[in-house]
Each structure stands twice: as C-alpha cells, then as structure tokens.
C-alpha cells in the first residue's frame, strides 16, 4: 500500500534561507524518502494550505526556521494527529517567531500554541560546537543507534512541554553563549533537574497518532551562513566553516532519519 509524506522545509520570511541550507536539507530528506518505492512525497516551504496537503497524508516531516502554523493550520494539524497522523520535527521546528527586546539588538522567542502540540520550545543555542549525544533505547526511533555518538551542531536548549519518552540527551551544565549572543530568556527551562542534562530528542503519543522531535540538524552553505563564530571545539581560531553539514554527515543521524520514516509510515515494506 502506497503511503504519503508531506515534507515542509523553509525559512521565514518566504523564500529566505533563515541561516540554513534549506536546499541541502530538503534534498537529503527527499533522498531518504525515495528509498521506499511504496512511498510518495509532497513538498512545501511553509504550513500554507496544510489542510489540503495533510488530507490523505500519513506522515509529516518538518525542517523549518521561522515558519509556524497559524491558528487554523494548527487546529488542522491537531485533528490530523488525533486521527492517527505522525509528525517528525527537526531542528528549527521547535522555534518560530522571535520578538525584539526594546532597547537592545536581541530578540526573545515567543511560545505559541503549536509548541504544546510539538512538545518543546526553543530558547537559544550557544555557538556551533562539538558534543556527545547519549542515546536512550527502547523505541523504534533509536533502533540500531550506538549508546552515544559525537557530532558538530547547534546544541539547542529546548524546554520540554508535557509528557514524552526521551530519546536523546547531552550534558551541558550551563549555557556558554557569550554576552549578547543568540536569543534572550529569563529562566533556563531546558536544564533538567540533575543540573546538567539537556533533552535533544523525544517521542510522544497524540490521540491515535504521535509526535517526535530531534533538535539536531544544522547545516549551512557559504550563501546561508550567518554564524558569526563557532566554538573552539570546531575551529581553534573560532572561524566559521563556510560549509557545515554537522550531524548530517554522521551515521547515527542517518540511521535516526531512516528510523523516523519507518516510524512515520509503519505500513511501508
């Protein structure tokens, strides 16, 4: 039986790369989806006309930096999930709209209704760095993954919302972002009770469907790079690599994405 994925990759405003190589991410995800002969894919740049594209779709994948569902689109998404749809969000999906802070050049992320549905909310990330990801087994999404793996990526600080099964974590006792870097927040709600753990991936049930999110996946090209500098664990002089693929070049991330596709469309053969 043929199953269909709706893939959303894009930045805000419309047509913007928003600091990410959207073409690269889109092509990589389409390539993985194309490994299944009994699967088809529709593609969009944002959540526009979501009701039309989710009608008859089994799986939603999102790699976005800015676009979020409006109130009507969010309601459509919730009904689709409750009826059995599955949503896999990557990287900037936990972000969205940022508000300017009066008197400064910085911004603060705005928590909206769709963050509760997703199950997390992006606060900030320090400069791109090298770090180790711990894998928590016991779910098809982590099947075949090692106990841990090293990657170079934007280490997202995300606030978990509601109940979920944790899949990926890392240790970072405090946000090492330099003064004025990234986004402002009042309280570091991403730090877990042990004072060192950050959640980077999880899965949760939603009605008859489900939602999974993985914070990894930054990539940029010379045209889309907006990183002012990187951590010394990436480049000793702090210079930002003109092209960065990070987690996309790790075997663990590829396994995770393949697992996500088979989780999202369990009827695939």
> Which pLDDT tens digit goes with each residue over 154-172?
999 999 999 999 999 999 9
Mean pLDDT over 141-145 rounds to: 98
Residue 269 lies in a domain: no
> 23 is in which domain, residue-wise?
3-264
Residue 9 lies in a domain: yes
* Nearest-angstrom CA–CA distance, 251 and 240: 23
pLDDT digits (tens, 9 = 90+) for 43-80: 999 999 999 999 999 999 999 999 999 999 999 999 99
According to DSSP, the β-strands at 129-135 and 148-153 are: antiparallel
pLDDT digits (tens, 9 = 90+) for 171-195: 999 999 998 899 999 999 999 999 9
Residue 251 lies in a domain: yes
What is the number of structural domains in the chain? 1
Mean pLDDT over 26-40 rounds to: 97
Instruction: Please state the separation of Cα 62 from the chain's center in Å.
Output: 7
* 156: CATH: 3.40.50.880
Mean pLDDT over 111-117 rounds to: 98
Mean pLDDT across the chain, nearest whole number? 97
Cα Dmax for the chain: 57
* Nearest-angstrom CA–CA distance, 137 and 264: 18
* Nearest-angstrom CA–CA distance, 34 and 29: 9
Phi and psi (nearest 5°) for 245?
A: -110, -25
pLDDT digits (tens, 9 = 90+) for 252-263: 999 999 999 999
Q: Give the end-to-end CA distance of the chain in Å, rounded to a whole number.
A: 9
pLDDT of res. 269: 66
Residue 132 lies in a domain: yes
Residues for the chain: how many in total? 269
The C-alpha torsion from 70 through 71 and 76 to 77, rounded to 10°, is 60
In 3D space, the residue among 106, 28, 38 whose CA is nearest the CA of residue 61 turns out to be 28
**Residue 190 near residue 94, CB atoms below 8 Å:** no
Is the dihedral angle over the CA atoms 227, 232, 234, 238 positive or is it negative? positive
pLDDT of res. 28: 98
DSSP element (H, E) containing 129 = strand 129-135
For the cut 90, the answer to whether the pLDDT of residue 103 exceeds it is no
């Amino acid at each position: 039986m043929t199953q269909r994925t709706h893939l959303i990759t894009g930045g805000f405003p419309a047509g913007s790369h928003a600091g990410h190589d959207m073409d690269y991410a889109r092509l990589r995800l389409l390539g993985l989806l194309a490994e299944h002969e009994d699967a088809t894919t529709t593609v969009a740049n944002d959540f526009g006309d979501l009701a039309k594209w989710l009608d008859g779709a089994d799986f939603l994948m999102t790699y976005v930096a800015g676009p979020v569902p409006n109130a009507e689109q969010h309601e459509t998404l919730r009904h689709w999930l409750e009826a059995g749809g599955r949503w896999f969000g990557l990287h900037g999906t936990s972000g969205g709209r940022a508000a300017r802070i009066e008197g400064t050049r910085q911004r603060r992320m705005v928590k909206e209704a769709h963050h509760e549905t997703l199950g997390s909310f992006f606060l900030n990330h320090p400069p791109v760095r090298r770090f180790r990801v711990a894998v928590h087994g016991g779910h098809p999404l982590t099947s075949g993954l090692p106990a841990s793996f090293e990657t170079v990526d934007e280490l997202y600080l995300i606030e978990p919302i509601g109940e979920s099964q944790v899949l990926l974590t890392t240790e970072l006792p405090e946000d090492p972002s330099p003064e004025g870097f990234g986004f402002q927040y009042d309280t570091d709600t991403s730090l877990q009770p042990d004072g060192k753990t950050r959640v980077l991936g999880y899965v949760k049930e939603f009605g008859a469907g489900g939602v999974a999110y993985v914070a990894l996946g930054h990539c940029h090209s010379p045209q889309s790079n907006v990183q002012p500098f990187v951590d010394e664990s990436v480049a000793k002089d702090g210079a930002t690599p003109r092209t960065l693929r990070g987690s996309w070049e790790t075997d663990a991330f590829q396994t995770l994405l393949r697992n996500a596709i088979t989780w999202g469309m369990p009827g695939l053969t």
